[in-house]
């Protein structure tokens, strides 16, 4: 898939804001962004701590 940088940002915005992850244009990407693991990894990075994964 050949996507320009602005298009890539728009795809990411739509995926992050998806009300029903997994039902849009990029279902796997939407589900990954909505997962607890992704949110925990992001939180840990921002707080400069190790992630505490729950295994769900």
pLDDT at 56: 63
Q: Position of tokens 């589900």?
A: 31
Q: Give residue 7's pLDDT band: very low, low, confident or very high (50, 70, 90).
A: very high
Specify the pTM: 0.65
DSSP one-letter string for 1-56 = ----HHHHHHHHHHHHT-SSTTSSSSHHHHHHHHSHHHHHHHHHHHHTS-------
User: How far is 37 from 45, CA to CA, in rounded Å?
Assistant: 12
Does 1 score more than 80 pLDDT? no
In this structure, are residues 51 and 41 in contact, taking their beta carbons and an 8 Å threshold?
yes
Q: What is the mean pLDDT of residues 23-50?
A: 89
Q: Give residue 26's pLDDT band: very low, low, confident or very high (50, 70, 90).
A: confident
């Amino acid at each position: 898939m050949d996507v320009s940088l602005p298009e890539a940002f728009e795809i990411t915005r739509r995926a992050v804001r998806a009300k029903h992850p997994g039902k849009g244009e990029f279902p796997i990407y939407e589900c990954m962004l909505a997962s607890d693991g992704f949110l925990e990894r992001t939180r840990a990075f921002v707080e400069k701590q190790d992630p505490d994964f729950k295994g769900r």
